[in-house]
Amino acid sequence: MKLYFHPMSGNSRRALLVATHLGVPLERIVVDLTAGEQRGLPHLARNPNAHVPVLEDDGLVLWESRAIMQYLADKTPGQTLLPTDLRGRADVTRWLFWCAQHMAPANTVLVYQNFVKPLMGRGAPDPVEVARGEALVAQYAPILDAHLAGKTWVSHDRVTLADYSLASSFALAGPARLPIADYANLRAWLGRVQELDAWQRTAPPAPPARATAQS
């Protein structure tokens, strides 16, 4: 089984977290996003969207990080990351979709403006876009924070795909300057995820000095 990924990609982190948690062996192949390899013909043949990650497994070529998460879980006997009962699975899936539609896109605006642009030498953050990203985070982070009140994990009484999906979107909270200081439940939950073995074993290399200087 092969995973085409980039170590700084939050989407890639989702797949890596699940594979690591479940002990699924992967051949990891880095797609150099900084060099534009994702737009080259070999990678476009794997994913016409020019994104990572992409999973290859015995003829299956699968893109979209949350689809990969579900596939790895379904493929692993005895796993507990994705419930098998109808309602339990629906609850986890609800949070995967909410993450994809709302929380992750909100965070991505600030990840790009405050982290990726300085890292890639694409100029200073656009204040209009930063304000838009901050407004989106302010719209959606309170929903997650309120949901987590009195809870250890997002769904059920254990770690699920919902936790790994959402936490990956906050992986660059520091250098991206995500405005989450006021959300105590969210920050406590994120701290719990960051203590997990799978999270620590999938930590990307430290960002270059130019990026950290912006944090």
> Do residues 53 and 30 touch, judged by C-beta distance below 8 A?
no
**CATH code where residue 60 lies:** 3.40.30.10
Domain assignment of residue 150, yes or no: yes
Positions in the chain short of pLDDT 50: 209-215
Distance CA 36, CA 171 (A): 22
- 102 and 172 in a single domain? The answer is yes
Summarised one tens digit per residue, pLDDT across range 152-208 is 999 999 999 999 999 999 999 999 999 999 999 999 999 999 999 999 999 987 655
- 119 and 56 in a single domain? The answer is no
Domain assignment of residue 177, yes or no: yes
- 70 and 116 in a single domain? The answer is no
- 56 and 109 in a single domain? The answer is no
**Residue 45 CB contacts under 8 Å (≥ 6 apart), including other chains:** none
What is the helix (H) or strand (E) element at residue 35, kind and residue range?
Answer: none
- 142 and 63 in a single domain? The answer is no
- 100 and 202 in a single domain? The answer is yes
**pLDDT attached to residue 213:** 32
Instruction: Name the one residue in this structure whose structure tokens are 């980039």.
Output: 6
Domain assignment of residue 163, yes or no: yes
Phi-psi region of 63 (alpha: psi -120 to 50; beta: other; left: phi over 0): beta
Phi-psi region of 55 (alpha: psi -120 to 50; beta: other; left: phi over 0): beta
Write down the pTM of the prediction: 0.92
**Residue 185 CB contacts under 8 Å (≥ 6 apart), including other chains:** 145, 146, 148, 149, 151
Domain assignment of residue 205, yes or no: yes
> Based on the structure, what is the number of domains in the chain?
2
**Residue 21 CB contacts under 8 Å (≥ 6 apart), including other chains:** 81, 159, 164, 196, 197, 198
- 20 and 41 in a single domain? The answer is yes
**pLDDT attached to residue 208:** 54
Domain assignment of residue 188, yes or no: yes
**CATH code where residue 150 lies:** 1.20.1050.10
- In which domain, by residue range, is 151 found? 86-212
